[in-house]
Amino acid sequence: MTEQNNTPQTPEELRADIERTRAELADTVGALTERLDVKGRAQARADELAHDPRARGVGVGLAVAAVLTVAFIVWRKRR
Kindly report, residue by residue over 18-73, the tens digit of the pLDDT.
Answer: 999 999 999 999 999 988 999 999 998 888 877 877 766 777 888 899 999 999 99
For residues 6 and 14, the model is more confident at 14
pLDDT band at 74 (very low <50, low <70, confident <90, very high): very high
How far is residue 66's CA from residue 73's CA, in Å, rounded to a whole number? 11
State residue 6's pLDDT score: 64
How far apart, in Å, are the Cα atoms of 23 and each of 60, 65, 68? 47, 54, 59
